[in-house]
């Protein structure tokens, strides 16, 4: 049996404490709002634990089917900004049968596949955990700009969409996204609703939770496309992960 000495044991203990703190912190955040964890299995993304299953507005479980990060490169240095987890109802595969048996690489390069994920009438949660702190106003402007550009490209940017985006920008101006802050983008169909709505939930250590509802269907669609939009998605690592996991589900 190898002997590593006290240095190794101390390092291992430090890592275990550090990871357990992150894990406990994450679980504390995830029970806020309408989202609750289910089981104890997790996927670790950049030392941030994402439960394999959560429960949204109904008793149906949502499965972690994609994860990744957003990042930028400055002078050849990678700066990681956020970790992302994408939770979908398992019933999503019923709306993707056209791609059954296709390899993950083909799915990853097929924007129609990701459009089908976006439009499928199933509950979705996109969970964003901050790695590199940023002002909420900066994040809000990034989101507003990305959504507005997509709306304009599809000729869907009217007064109603502009008013909804102004409310989103105002919401983010009131918060600060320090490291380990959590944003949940929760998409679902209320009873008798023709279009999905979104709820944005914010949680951060030592801060009061905040949330807002997004009811404009076109804006809701483009927020989903910002994260799930195939080749135009903000995180290609997340897109690749979704393609890999859904290829497995569609092969069953």
| Residue pLDDT, tens place only, 65-122 | 999 999 999 999 999 999 999 999 999 999 999 999 999 999 999 999 999 999 999 9
For the chain, domain boundaries = 5-250
Res 132 pLDDT > 70? yes
Reading across the β-sheet that carries 197-203, which strands appear in turn? 36-45, 48-55, 61-74, 77-88, 124-130, 182-188, 197-203, 210-214
C-alpha–C-alpha distance, residues 51 and 59, integer Å: 16
Tokens of 140: 């809000």
Res 25 pLDDT > 50? no
| Residue pLDDT, tens place only, 134-150 | 999 999 999 999 999 99
CATH 3.50.70.10 fits 5-250, yes or no: yes
Q: CA dihedral in degrees (233, 184, 201, 131; nearest 10)?
A: -80
- Residue 80 CB contacts under 8 Å (≥ 6 apart), including other chains: 46, 69, 70, 71, 131, 132
Secondary structure E strands in 56-196: 61-74, 77-88, 124-130, 134-135, 176-177, 182-188
- Residue 251 CB contacts under 8 Å (≥ 6 apart), including other chains: 100, 101
- Residue 247 CB contacts under 8 Å (≥ 6 apart), including other chains: 102, 103, 104, 107
Tokens of 1: 């049996």
């Amino acid at each position: 049996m190898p002997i590593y000495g006290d240095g190794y044991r101390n390092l291992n203990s430090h890592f275990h404490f550090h990871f357990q703190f992150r894990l406990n912190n994450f679980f504390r955040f995830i029970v806020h709002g309408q989202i609750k964890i289910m089981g104890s299995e997790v996927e670790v993304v950049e030392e941030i634990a994402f439960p394999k299953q959560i429960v949204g507005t109904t008793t149906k479980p949502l499965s972690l089917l994609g994860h990744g990060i957003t990042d930028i490169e400055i002078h050849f240095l990678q700066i990681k900004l956020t970790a992302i987890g994408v939770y979908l109802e398992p019933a999503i595969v019923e709306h993707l049968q056209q791609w059954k048996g296709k390899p993950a690489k083909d799915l990853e390069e097929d924007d129609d596949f990701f459009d089908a994920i976006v439009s499928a009438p199933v509950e979705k949660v996109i969970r964003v955990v901050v790695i590199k702190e940023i002002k909420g106003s900066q994040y809000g402007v990034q989101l507003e700009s990305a959504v507005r550009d997509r709306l304009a490209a599809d000729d869907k940017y009217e007064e109603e969409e502009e008013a909804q985006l102004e409310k989103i920008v105002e919401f983010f101006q009131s918060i600060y996204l320090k490291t380990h802050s959590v944003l949940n983008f929760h998409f679902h169909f209320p009873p008798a609703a023709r279009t999905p709505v979104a709820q944005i939930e914010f949680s951060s250590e030592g801060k009061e939770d905040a949330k807002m509802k997004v009811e404009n269907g076109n804006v809701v669609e483009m927020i989903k496309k910002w994260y799930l939009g195939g080749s135009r998605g903000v995180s290609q690592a997340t897109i690749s992960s979704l393609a890999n996991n859904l290829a497995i589900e569609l092969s069953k």
